[in-house]
Amino acid sequence: MTLLIGILMMVVVAAFVAAPFFMGAGAVSLDSVASRGQLQRQKHEAYAAIKEAEFDYRMGKLSDADFAVLREKYTAQAVEAITALETQSTQRRQLSATKVPTRIAFCPACGHRIPPRANFCPACGGSLNVAVA
């Protein structure tokens, strides 16, 4: 009995480890989620640094030249993060737009009108998935 449980546990672990290799191209990977989180963090940190520099400038702790350099540096970091986030978002939208299956209105075999979400023709019983592909 323990041998059977051990083998079952090994099969489950192996399936869990191998699952990313069998996922489709549209599956969200952990790397893209982590990358998005890192870019969001970079954007928020750059915003916070700009606010801090503005506060220090208004308090008289920074000269005009130092403030300009800091503001330019952190603005460039924020713009870089925002651009990367927009690129990821655009790629994700394009990928999801290509996956939308096309539905047909009439059965290719008998010509009967097909209701929404139907997988088979209600008149002749023919499969509609073959016709869409």
Predicted confidence (pLDDT) per residue in 36-71, tens digit: 889 999 999 999 999 999 999 999 999 999 999 999
Q: Residue 16 and residue 38: Cα distance in Å, rounded? A: 25
Strand partners for 120: 127
Residue 115: predicted pLDDT: 87
Q: Residue 83 and residue 79: Cα distance in Å, rounded? A: 6
> Does residue 87 surpass a pLDDT of 60?
yes
Residue 23: predicted pLDDT: 66
Q: Residue 89 and residue 95: Cα distance in Å, rounded? A: 10
Predicted confidence (pLDDT) per residue in 96-108, tens digit: 666 656 678 888 8
Predicted confidence (pLDDT) per residue in 7-21, tens digit: 989 999 988 888 777
Average pLDDT over residues 26-38: 68
Q: Residue 119 and residue 104: Cα distance in Å, rounded? A: 10
Helices in the chain by DSSP H: which ranges?
A: 2-22, 30-58, 64-98, 129-132
Residue 79: predicted pLDDT: 94
Q: Residue 127 and residue 83: Cα distance in Å, rounded? A: 45
